[in-house]
């Protein structure tokens, strides 16, 4: 068997993946709804599948953005996670994941969340390795790629701004921010 090197570019459709899983009682929390952690684990799995397929190598999860569970998922629902590579850098890939849950009795489908996983491709030595470029096949692919660039820029800016704000934070001068908050100084 010959292992060909990955091509320079791969189309978005090449690595698009859908993972569907039935929500069984063992996935539920004490309130009878599906654990957020169960969904996160499935999201990580589908992100890996899409990233590794595009890269043609092993990938690791580096960062997760936009995990807001908009609606609870119930036991018995059929959850589908639709993943595609939205953006590639040199060694990193941004995988967009749309999670939907279907009530199999009524056929009604709800959108529970859309999240973004940054994955990095690794070579045999465990070092980040170059991934193929992305062929944008539709205007939706182009929009997602552009959105990813914006998301990256905004995240970078937020991290810098927050680091600066944290650096400048002095407890004595900011105590007024606690007014109206539900806390008490207990020391």
Q: How far apart are CA 133 and CA 152, in angstroms?
A: 17
Reported as half-sphere exposure (CB side, CA atoms, 13 A), residue 85 has a value of: 33
Residue with Cβ nearer ligand COA (107 or 126):
126
Q: How far is the CB of 60 from ligand COA (least distance, A)?
A: 4
- How far apart are CB 155 and ligand COA at their closest, in Å? 7
CB of 130 to ligand COA, least distance (A): 8
Give the interface with ligand COA as residue ranges (CB under 6 A). 60-63, 89-92, 118, 120, 128
Instruction: Report in angstroms the alpha-carbon separations of 37 from 18, 154, 179.
Output: 19, 27, 34
Identity of the residue, 24 or 62, whose beta carbon is nearer to ligand COA in the bound complex: 62
Structure tokens, 63: 């960062």
In angstroms, give the least distance from the CB of 2 to ligand COA: 27
* Cβ–Cβ < 8 Å for 44, 80: no
Q: Cα 33 to the chain's mean position, in Å?
A: 21
**C-beta of 93 vs 100, nearer to ligand COA:** 93
Please, which residue, 101 or 120, has the CB nearer to ligand COA?
A: 120
């Amino acid at each position: 068997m010959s292992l060909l090197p990955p091509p320079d570019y791969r189309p978005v459709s090449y690595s698009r993946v859908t993972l569907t899983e039935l929500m069984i009682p063992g996935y539920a929390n004490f309130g009878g709804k599906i654990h957020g952690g169960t969904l996160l684990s499935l999201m990580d799995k589908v992100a890996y599948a899409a990233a590794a397929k595009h890269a043609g190598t092993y990938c690791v999860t580096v960062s997760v953005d936009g995990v807001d569970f908009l609606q609870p998922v119930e036991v018995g629902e059929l959850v589908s996670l639709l993943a595609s590579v939205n953006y590639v850098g040199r060694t990193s890939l941004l995988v967009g994941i749309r999670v939907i849950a279907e009530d199999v009795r009524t056929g009604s489908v709800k959108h529970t969340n859309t999240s973004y996983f940054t994955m990095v491709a690794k070579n045999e030595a465990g070092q980040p390795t170059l991934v193929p470029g992305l062929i944008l096949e539709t205007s939706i692919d182009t929009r997602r790629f552009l959105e990813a660039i914006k998301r990256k820029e905004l995240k970078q800016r937020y991290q810098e701004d927050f680091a600066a704000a944290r650096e400048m934070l002095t407890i004595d001068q900011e105590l007024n921010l606690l007014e109206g908050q539900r806390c008490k100084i207990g020391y």
